[in-house]
Structure 1
Amino acid sequence: MTRNELIRALRVTEAALWKAGNLLRDAAPDVLDAQQEVARILRAVDSSEKCQRCGCALVQTGLGRPKRYCSDNCRKYAYAEKRQTG
């Protein structure tokens, strides 16, 4: 299973659990707990596709190192913030 297939499957699962949890709100509190856990895992898996500073979506070219920032400005600001805090 590729990473994109995993993300797609987690999104479908989260949506189904959300719908089931809303329909069975009082009858199945475990469903909402499961939905929240799937959402947490999805954020963790999908987070590497976003800029580490501003959260914008990144487009990976497949060449060289994976991008961590969406622009030179974000990279420079992140570097400056890191120097100030550390």
Structure 2
Amino acid sequence: DYVSSATAVVSGSSTILEAFESSFHQDLNADGVSGIPAASVTVVEAAGSTKLDQIGSYYFLDAVSGGTGPSVKYAGTPFAASTQV
């Protein structure tokens, strides 16, 4: 039975889709990498055992020791960086 959606409709190059690849243990967008390529991760801040990573225009709370944590959301929608002020 369908209960809910983990994300809205996204493109194959979406960082949200890439973040889910490690959960499913599959390369969902056929880019040859299961998960987010390490080169595309920017650490914004690290404190204690948690860090805030920016991947593309999305933000994730990840463990400093590795792995992908939950995405930062606002009103249930993944928060994306914007140039608008």
- Bigger CA radius of gyration: 1
Greater strand fraction, Structure 1 or Structure 2: 2
Structure number with the bigger relative contact order (C-alpha 8 A, sep ≥ 6) is: 1
Query: In proportion to residue count, which structure has more helix?
Result: 1
TM-score range, shorter chain: under 0.3
Task: Name the TM-score, length of structure 1 as normaliser.
Answer: 0.26
TM-score, normalised via structure 2 length = 0.26
